[in-house]
Amino acid sequence: MLRMSSLFLRTLRDDPSDAEVASHRLLVRAGYVRRIAAGIYSWLPLGYITLRNIERVIREEMDRAGFQEVHFPALLPKEPYEQTNRWNEYGPELFRLQDRKGGEYLLGPTHEEMFTLMVKGEYSSYKDLPLSLYQIQTKYRDETRPRSGIIRGREFVMKDSYSFDLDDAGLEASYQKHREAYIKTFARLGLKYNIVSAMAGAMGGSKSEEFLAPCDTGEDTYVLCEKCGYAANVEAMVTIVPPGNPDGVPVLEVLNTPNTPTIDSLVAVLNENYGGGYTGADTLKNVMLVADTKAIAVLVPGDREVDLKRLQANLSGVQELRIFEEADFAQYPGLIKGYIGPQDAAQSGIRVLADPRIAPGTSWVTGANQRDRHARFVVNGRDFTPDEYVECAEVRAGDLCPTCSEPIVMDRAIEIAHIFQLGRKYAQALNLSVLDQNGKSQIVTMGSYGIGVSRAVAAIAEQTHDAIGLSWPVEIAPAKVHIVATGKEDNPFNVAEELANNLEKSGITVLLDDRRDASPGVKFKDAELIGIPVIVVVGKALEFGNVEVRVRRSGEKSEVSVADASTFISNVLIANS
RNA sequence: CGGGGCGUAGCGUAGUGGCUAGCGCGCCUGCUUUGGGAGCAGGAGACCGGGAGUUCGAAUCUCCCCGCCCCGACCA
Whether A139 and A181 share a structural domain:
yes
Separation of A41 CA and B49 C1' (Å): 20
Residue A8 lies inside a defined structural domain of this protein: no
Identify whether A145 is part of a domain: yes
Most distant CA atoms of chain A, gap in Å: 96
Structural domain count, chain A: 3
Residue at minimal CA–C1' distance from B10? A10
Q: How many CB atoms lie within 10 A of CB A276?
A: 7
Distance A554 CA to B14 C1' (A): 40
Cβ(A415)–Cβ(A232) below 8 Å: no
- The answer to whether strand B lies under 7 Å from the CB of residue A539 is yes
* Separation of alpha carbons A494 and A505, rounded Å: 17
The CATH number assigned to the domain holding A88 equals 3.30.930.10
Q: Does residue A1 sit within a domain?
A: no
Beta-bridged to residue A326, according to DSSP, are: none
> Which of A389, A418, A437 marks a domain boundary?
A389
A276 and A348 both lie in a single domain: yes
* Residues A361 and A435 both lie in one domain: no
Peptide bond into A130 cis (omega under 30): yes
Query: Interface pTM (ipTM) of the complex?
Result: 0.94
A507 lies in some domain: yes
> Pick from A389, A418, A442: which residue ends a domain?
A389
- Residue A242 in any domain: the answer is no
Residues facing residue A32 across a β-bridge: none
User: Per the domain annotation, does A395 fall within a domain?
Assistant: no
Please indicate, yes or no, whether residues A233 and A266 belong to a single structural domain of this protein: no
Contact of A133 with A127, CB cutoff 8 Å: no
- Each of the 577 residues of chain A gets a pLDDT tens digit; together they read 999 999 999 999 999 998 989 999 999 999 999 999 999 999 999 999 999 999 999 999 999 999 999 999 999 999 999 999 999 888 888 999 999 999 999 999 999 999 999 999 999 999 999 999 999 999 999 988 898 999 999 999 999 999 999 999 999 999 999 999 999 999 999 999 999 988 755 445 578 899 999 998 888 889 999 999 898 888 888 899 999 888 989 999 999 999 998 898 999 999 999 988 899 999 999 999 888 888 889 999 999 988 888 888 888 777 778 888 777 888 888 888 889 999 988 777 889 999 999 999 999 999 999 999 999 999 999 999 999 999 999 998 899 999 999 999 999 999 999 999 999 999 999 999 999 999 999 999 999 999 999 999 999 999 999 999 999 999 999 999 999 999 999 999 999 999 999 999 999 999 999 999 999 999 999 999 999 999 999 999 999 999 999 999 999 999 999 999 999 999 999 999 8
Q: Tell me the C-alpha distance between A553 and A461, whole Å.
A: 12
Q: What is the CATH number of the domain that holds A499?
A: 3.40.50.800
For residues A495 and A450, state if they share a domain.
Answer: no
- What CATH number does the domain containing A292 carry? 3.90.960.10
Same domain? For A444 and A311 the reply is no
The answer to whether residues A115 and A153 belong to one domain is yes
Domain that holds residue A495: 481-575
| A336 and A485 both lie in a single domain | no
Q: How far apart are CA A464 and CA A501, in angstroms?
A: 29
Domain contains A5? no
Q: In strand B, which positions have an atom below 7 A from any protein CB?
A: 1-2, 6, 10-13, 24-26, 33-38, 67-76
φ, ψ at A550 (rounded to 5°): -115, 135
Answer yes or no: is A100 CB < 7 A from strand B: no
By the 8 A CB rule, do A524 and A21 touch?
no
CA distances from residue A528 to A9, A14, A28 in whole angstroms, order as listed? 15, 15, 14
Is there a single domain that holds both residue A297 and residue A378?
yes
Q: How far apart are CA A94 and CA A71, in angstroms?
A: 20
A489 touches strand B (CB under 7 A): no
Statement to judge: residues A279 and A417 lie in one domain? no
Residue A232 and residue A375 in one domain: no
How far is it, in rounded angstroms, from Cα A188 to Cα A475? 7
Residues A145 and A26 in one domain: yes
- Which residue type occupies A461? A
